[in-house]
Each structure stands twice: as C-alpha cells, then as structure tokens.
C-alpha cells in the first residue's frame, strides 16, 4: 500500500495474533482436553465391588479348559458401588499398586481415555498408586521400555485420538522366552497388574498372560479395542455383553463424513464412480455402518457375499444328480458382474457416476481367494517353522516365490500324499494379475493374519469390472440414458422432428423418460449405417449434428477415483460416544484390578442403549476362546465377530439397497452424517448399527 511500510518478518512473528494462530494449542484442543465424560452411576461411589453372576452361559472349549485352567472358571462380573465397606475390603481395594498398560495392534480413537480412566480411579483409590505405560506395544513389556504416566501427561491427552502417549505395536508375547522376559519386567517394576488394550488377538494374548502370571500375583485385564468392530461378545444364549469395541464409532463416522462428501461431489460433477475401500480386514462392520450413515449407491458386505447361494446352479446340479459346490458363496467374477449390473442400470437413467463402498476384507469372503489365503498361510508358516528361517527373506522376489510354488506343484504330482499345492492351484494362481499374486504372497502379521490393508482389493475387483463393462459397451448394453426433454430440445434446435428420429435411434422411445440408444449403435459408423438403413439420411449425406451429439452423449466411459479410508479415520479424535465409552472402560479396569480379577475383559453392557443404561462388567476371556487355524495350525483364539446377515442392521440396509442405488430417474438418496463434532448437539449418540441391532 503506498505510503505504508510493510512489517518486517521479525515484527510479524512477534505479533500476538501470529503467535496465536501458529500455536499447536488451539481452542478446539483446549476444549477437548477439558471435557469430562459422564461416568456410570456405580463409579460415583467411593468403592466398587464385583458380583459374579451365573446368568450368562458359555460353551467352553476343551482346549481352553486344558490350556487355561487358572482362569477358565471365571464368570461374568457386574460392578456395584459401595460407600462404606469393611476395613479389610478398604485396605485391599486401596493398597498401593503398580499397574502397567499396553496398547496392542492398530490405533483406535479413545485409547487415551482408557488410560485417563485407569489413572483417575487408581489415584482416587490411593494417590501412591503408580501407572506405567509400556512403549510401542508389547515390545515394551518384553524389553522393559516404559514411562511413568503422570497427571500432566494424562491431561495432555484427554479425549484425544491416536495412541501417541505410549504408542503401539503388533508384537505377540507368544514364546517361552518372551514370557520369561515379560515376567522379569513385571518383577523389576513390581507390577500388580497389566492392562492389555487390544483386539481379538491381543485379548487372546491377555488370557495366556493371565494364566502365565497368576502364580506371580500379576493380574491381567483386557480391553476391547479395534476400529474394525469385530470384538462383540454374546453369551451362548445370544445375550449381548459387549456390543462393540471402542474406536469403531469414531472411525466409521470419519469414513462416513468423507464418503458423504464424495457422494456430494460425484452427483455434482457427474463423471466419476468413486471406489471407496474402507478398513475392516475381516469383518464388514465399518462398511455396513458407512452404508447406513451415507446411503452410498452400493456397499458390498463380505459376509453377505459368502452367504450367497446360486439357485440356478443348484437346480442344474440336482437335475444332473450331482452336487455343485461352486454354487455356494460368490465368485470374484460373479461379484464383478453384480457391480457392473448396478453401474449399467444407473447409467441407463443418466447417472454414469456414483459411490461404491468396498470393505477391505471383502476377498476373505470370496471362496476361491479364501482357499488361496489359507493354503499360502500354511505353506509360508510351514516353511518358516520347518527351516527356522524366513520365507520372504529366502524368496525376495515374486518370481522366486512363484518358482517355490511350482516346485510344490511338481512335488504334488510326484507324491500322491502331498496335496497342499496342486498343479491346478498353480495354474489358477498363474491366472491372477502379478500385483495381486504379490499381495496374496506378502508377509503375514505377527499373529499370522493376512494383511488385507496391503492388498489393492479394490484394484482387483475393479479390474474385472472394467473388463466386463468393456464387453457390455461392445454389446451396446452399457449406455448413458438421454433425458427425453434434452433429446427433443437438441433435435429441435436443428429443426429436426424428434418423433421421427426417436424410434430409429432408441430402443425404448415409446415409453421411457430416459432414452437408450439401440444396442446395435456402438460407433459413429454404426449410427450412420442405422440412419441410412432407416432412410433418415442418404449414403452421401452427413449425420445431422444434433443426432450425432445425442449419440456421443450416450457413450458411457467408466471413470473411477480410488480412495482408501483407514489410517485417516483411525487417527481421528474420538466422538463423544467413544470418549465416554473408553473413560468408563478405564474406570471398569481399575475396579476389576482393585477387586482382584484376572483373565477378564473390561466391557460396558447395554452400549446399544442410552448412557443411563450402561452397565460396566468384567467378561471372562477364556470362556470365549475356541480353536481356529492360525499360521497353518490350530490355535486357541477369541472368535472374531463378523456381520450377522440375520441382524436388523444388515437386513435394514439390504432392504434399502435398491433405493440407495437409485437406478431410477430422479435424485439420489444420499444422507449427510456431517463431521465428527465434539461440542454442541451431536446428531447421534451411538453407532447406527447398534441402534438398529437393539431393535431385534
Ligand atoms: P486392529 O485389529 O489391531 O485394531 O487393527 C485393525 C486395522 O485397523 C485394520 O482395519 C487394518 O487392516 C489393519 O489395522 C492395518 O494394520 P497396520 O496398521 O498394521 O497397517
């Protein structure tokens, strides 16, 4: 500005407004940290007691009985508040304790509030209680890498997302050596209890640690964490004890917010199909919640695909008096056809755009892929154990790995008893694109799980979709419907009679609101031939510009944008639901510890109802365990809870499938969940899946 000197950078940097807006601490953060989540009534009392109940029954696995004798008889424990218990109880409850806490597995919003809950309850019981955080996951226990968690540290992380305070890792304490080292750490820190905040595998690990450490007097308590939502606990009669792991709501809301924005963009720009892969390496809970939150045009649910039965194949086989095993579960090819059908139907009403949600674990539910995953899991695990070396180190390139598989196929031809990898497996595997072969062969995680987040599931499926759409285009079946009014207006501008050209150009001119160019017209050349044949133009005459324009508008190009929603949502700050849930979980953990429990998982019953009905409980982990194939061997684990296709949430979403696909003239039916908001009125207080499932 003339006559006015601009401020020097040094002056600018000193300016209070600059300092304010460039500070890491902004008003949002201050407000978050200050928020005090409501606590369940029982925790308002000075002390809490545990009451065992026989109300819940479990089918106990024989192997669990054998391997976990010390905790297999544990029961569900409810918590009650007491104001003035006996002196001996008070002494036990308030005795000085050292408690270690570890995060295990992927981050999930709310973890810091679990720590805050434990810290607040522990300090209230006895200010001398000390809480230690194991750094970077279970490695921190094995290697005795800890920090003491102080009040200031807790305050800095209250209501904040991520696991930044002590970080996390995926190591499993699964060998005698690691257990011995962990035991040493407990001794050195004089620990009374360890709290394992983790998913199904980590809670499994917690149960084994509880068994191992029982004689040392170290209690072990698990906490159900995972954005995937696949830790849900019911007893044998179907009574829900834990409706959802923490972190699920926040991640689902974050994904839904982003995907809803894509719905808005897609229906504005009308040129892209947005392909959204969402985390959930096995279960499709996140995808289902996103569907309910956004009403995206199409959401695949893996569990639904596995449930598919091809009646035509079954009938055909019955007539031929055979059994067709391929009739059960959907094949990848079939799935791609289903997706294509939806795309073609939307295009026919002028909507050559949309939003497709794919759960990252969808391939786990596709029979032929699942077979490969299991076979390769076994081959890799067997290779590593029999040779005490690493498959991936010894076979670094894809070609090396394929060569090893070829050797196995040769062996199966020579030795009749060797069947893990046959020539047929090898042939089928070689039909798969190289990037997907690489994905299927990639390193498993420390629990032996296939790492779906590393595989471009969406690319595999969309490759098939793209190929088949190409075929449909050639056949004249994939076309963009032209709005009748637009057609009339366009031809009118050139003074052509739309009713004359209509029946020549379109296959549905008589009745439809959106006109479909005849399947035989698949190029300007075939358009020309059609017009000549109908006598609309002479051989030497040009195609009328408006007619050509209409034809070109009907040509469907399949343009996609791929998105992956996972790590971003996982890093979100928790919703009020998750803040409250996790803080109360922390209080529950301390109550379990102070009352001497071990081998239990802290949980909140009635999460599906309003907060006033929440009921903190301890759930016996050993009673939930069963045998499952892991790293090629049967192992005792906690069962993952996948989407129940008979649940109200799924059935309702399925009932709306056609509406949300909106393959009919008119508006789409998108829903805007809005961003995750912390202050003010929030639109919903819990996951929609929970709300709906509570109805059934
Ligand atoms: P947890 O089961 O440990 O909570 O992790 C789940 C998850 O978020 C999955 O949805 C995803 O497939 C996986 O973590 C990604 O793992 P990583 O962080 O090792 O890439």
Confidence at residue 3, expressed as pLDDT on a 0 to 100 scale: 53
CA distances from 685 to 228, 260, 438 (A): 19, 19, 42
Give the angle subtended at the CA of 639 by the CAs of 638 and 644, to the nearest 5°. Answer: 150
* Ligand 1 touching residue 105 (CB < 6 A): yes
Separation between Cα atoms, residue 247 and residue 79, nearest integer Å = 23
pLDDT tens for 239-263 read 999 999 999 999 999 999 999 999 9
* Ligand 1 touching residue 284 (CB < 6 A): no
Question: Which ligand 1 atom is the nearest neighbour of the CA of 451?
Answer: 12
Confidence at residue 583, expressed as pLDDT on a 0 to 100 scale: 98
Average pLDDT score over residue span 366-392:
86
The length of the chain, given as a count of residues: 696
337 touches 468 (CB < 8 A): yes
CA-closest candidate to residue 296, choices 266, 263, 321 = 263
* Ligand 1 touching residue 446 (CB < 6 A): no
Give me ligand 1 centre to Cα 463, in Å: 25
Average pLDDT score over residue span 492-505:
98
pLDDT tens for 217-230 read 999 999 999 999 99
Q: Which residues pair with 298 in a beta bridge?
A: 356
* Ligand 1 touching residue 196 (CB < 6 A): no
Q: Is the dihedral of CA 486, 488, 490, 492 positive or negative?
A: negative
Give me ligand 1 centre to Cα 572, in Å: 15
**Confidence class of residue 238 from pLDDT cuts 50, 70 and 90?**
very high
Average pLDDT score over residue span 623-634:
85
Give me ligand 1 centre to Cα 445, in Å: 10
Average pLDDT score over residue span 255-283:
96
pLDDT at 331 over 70: yes
pLDDT tens for 289-318 read 999 999 999 999 999 998 888 888 888 888
CA-closest candidate to residue 99, choices 200, 223, 244, 202 = 223
Give me ligand 1 centre to Cα 66, in Å: 31
* Ligand 1 touching residue 453 (CB < 6 A): yes
For 34-246+579-638, which CATH class?
Answer: alpha beta
Give me ligand 1 centre to Cα 582, in Å: 19
- Return the exposure string of 486-513: e unless at least 16 CB atoms fall within 10 Å of the residue's CB, then b: ebbebbeeeebebeebbebbbbbbeebe
Which segments of 395-452 does DSSP mark as H helices, in order? 398-414, 423-430, 434-441
Confidence at residue 240, expressed as pLDDT on a 0 to 100 scale: 96
Q: What percent of the chain has pLDDT over 90?
A: 79
Domain(s) of CATH 3.40.50.460: residues in the chain = 248-471+560-569+646-694
Lowest mean pLDDT among 92-96, 372-376, 462-466, 676-680: 676-680
Confidence at residue 371, expressed as pLDDT on a 0 to 100 scale: 83
| 642 compared with 325, residue with greater pLDDT | 642
Whose alpha carbon is nearest atom 14 of ligand 1?
106
Domain(s) of CATH 3.40.50.450: residues in the chain = 34-246+579-638
pLDDT at 631 over 80: no
* Ligand 1 touching residue 546 (CB < 6 A): no
Give me ligand 1 centre to Cα 466, in Å: 29
Whose alpha carbon is nearest atom 1 of ligand 1?
106
Extract long-range pairs of 534-539: CB within 8 Å, 24+ residues apart: 534/504, 536/500, 536/501, 536/504
pLDDT at 2 over 60: no
* Ligand 1 touching residue 364 (CB < 6 A): no
Confidence at residue 110, expressed as pLDDT on a 0 to 100 scale: 98
**Confidence class of residue 432 from pLDDT cuts 50, 70 and 90?**
confident
Separation between Cα atoms, residue 625 and residue 200, nearest integer Å = 10
Q: What percent of the chain has pLDDT over 70?
A: 97
**Secondary structure letter of residue 103 according to DSSP:** E
Question: Which ligand 1 atom is the nearest neighbour of the CA of 104?
Answer: 3
pLDDT tens for 509-561 read 998 999 999 999 999 999 999 999 999 999 999 999 999 999 999 999 999 99
CATH superfamily of 248-471+560-569+646-694: Phosphofructokinase domain (3.40.50.460)
Separation between Cα atoms, residue 586 and residue 606, nearest integer Å = 17
Pocket test for ligand 1, best of 104, 203, 450, 453 (most atoms within 8 A of CB): 453
Question: Which ligand 1 atom is the nearest neighbour of the CA of 281?
Answer: 12
Catalytic pick among 192, 200, 228, 573: 228
Average pLDDT score over residue span 136-142:
97
Mean pLDDT of the chain: 94
pLDDT tens for 32-70 read 999 999 999 999 999 999 999 999 999 999 999 999 999
Active site (annotated) includes residue 228 = yes
Whose alpha carbon is nearest atom 18 of ligand 1?
106
Q: Edge to edge, what strands does the sheet with 560-565 contain?
A: 298-299, 354-359, 273-278, 560-565
* Ligand 1 touching residue 137 (CB < 6 A): no
**Secondary structure letter of residue 643 according to DSSP:** -
Residues in Cβ contact with 375 at an 8 Å cutoff, skipping those fewer than 6 apart: 420, 421, 425
pLDDT tens for 445-470 read 776 677 877 778 888 899 999 999 99
Give me ligand 1 centre to Cα 105, in Å: 7
């Amino acid at each position: 500005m003339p006559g006015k000197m601009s401020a020097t950078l040094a002056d600018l940097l000193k300016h209070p407004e600059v300092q304010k807006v460039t500070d890491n601490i902004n008003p949002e953060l201050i407000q978050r940290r200050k928020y005090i989540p409501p606590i369940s009534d029982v925790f308002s009392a000075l002390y809490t007691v545990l009451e065992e109940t026989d109300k819940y029954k479990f089918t106990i696995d024989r192997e669990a009985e054998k391997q976990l004798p010390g905790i297999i008889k544990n029961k569900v424990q409810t918590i009650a508040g007491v104001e003035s218990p006996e002196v001996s109880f008070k002494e036990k409850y308030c005795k000085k304790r050292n408690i270690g806490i570890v995060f295990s597995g992927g981050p999930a919003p709310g973890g810091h509030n679990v720590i805050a809950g434990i810290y607040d309850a522990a300090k209230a019981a006895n200010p001398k209680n000390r809480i230690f955080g194991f750094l970077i996951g279970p490695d921190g226990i094995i290697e005795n890498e800890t920090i003491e968690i102080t009040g200031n540290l807790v305050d800095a992380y209250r209501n904040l997302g991520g696991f930044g305070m002590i970080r996390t890792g995926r190591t499993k304490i699964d060998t005698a050596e690691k257990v011995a080292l962990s035991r040493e750490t407990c001794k050195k820190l004089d620990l009374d209890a360890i709290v394992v905040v983790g998913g199904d595998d980590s809670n499994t690990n917690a149960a084994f640690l509880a068994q191992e450490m029982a004689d040392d007097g170290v209690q072990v308590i698990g906490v159900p964490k995972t954005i995937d939502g696949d830790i849900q606990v019911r007893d044998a009669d179907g009574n829900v004890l834990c409706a959802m792991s923490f972190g699920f709501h926040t991640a689902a809301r974050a994904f839904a917010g982003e995907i809803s924005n894509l719905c808005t963009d897609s229906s504005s720009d009308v040129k892209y199909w947005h392909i959204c892969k969402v985390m959930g390496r096995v279960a499709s809970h996140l995808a289902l919640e996103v569907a309910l939150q956004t009403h995206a045009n199409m959401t695949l649910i893996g569990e639904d695909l596995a449930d598919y039965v091809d009646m035509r194949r079954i009938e055909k086989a019955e007539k031929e008096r055979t059994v067709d095993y391929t009739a059960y579960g959907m094949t990848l090819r079939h799935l791609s056809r289903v997706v294509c059908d939806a795309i073609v139907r939307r295009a026919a009403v002028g909507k050559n755009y949309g939003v497709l949600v794919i759960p990252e674990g969808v391939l786990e539910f596709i029979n032929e892929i699942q077979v490969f995953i299991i076979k390769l899991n076994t081959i890799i695990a067997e290779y590593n154990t029999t040779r005490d070396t690493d498959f991936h180190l010894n076979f670094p390139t894809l070609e090396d790995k394929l060569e090893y598989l070829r050797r196995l196929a040769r062996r199966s031809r020579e030795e009749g008893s060797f069947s893990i990898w046959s020539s047929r497996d090898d042939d089928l595997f070689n039909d798969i694109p190289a990037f997907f072969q690489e994905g299927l062969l990639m390193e498993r995680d420390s629990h032996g799980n296939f790492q779906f987040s590393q595989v471009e599931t969406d690319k595999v499926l969309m490759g098939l979709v793209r190929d088949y759409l190409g075929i449909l285009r050639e056949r004249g079946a994939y076309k963009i419907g032209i709005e009748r009014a637009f057609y009339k207006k366009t031809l009118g501008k050139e003074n052509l009679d739309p009713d004359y050209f209509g029946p020549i150009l379109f296959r549905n001119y008589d009745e439809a609101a959106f006109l479909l160019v005849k399947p035989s017209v698949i190029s300007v050349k075939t358009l020309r031939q059609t017009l000549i044949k109908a006598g609309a133009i002479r051989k030497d005459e040009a195609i009328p510009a408006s007619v050509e324009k209409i034809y070109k508008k009907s040509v469907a190009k399949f343009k996609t944008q791929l998105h992956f929603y996972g790590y971003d949502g996982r890093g979100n700050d928790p919703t009020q639901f998750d803040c409250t849930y996790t803080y109360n979980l922390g209080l529950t953990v301390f109550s379990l510890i102070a009352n001497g429990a071990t081998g239990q998982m802290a949980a909140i019953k009635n999460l599906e109802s309003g907060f006033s009905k929440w009921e903190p409980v301890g759930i016996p982990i050993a009673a939930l365990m069963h045998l499952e194939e892991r790293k090629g061997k049967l192992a005792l684990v906690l069962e993952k809870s996948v989407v129940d296709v008979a649940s109200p949430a799924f059935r309702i979403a399925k009932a709306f499938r056609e509406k949300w696909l909106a393959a009919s003239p008119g508006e789409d039916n998108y829903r805007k969940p809005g961003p995750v908001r912390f202050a003010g009125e929030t639109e919903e207080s819990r996951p929609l899946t929970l709300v709906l499932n509570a109805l059934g």
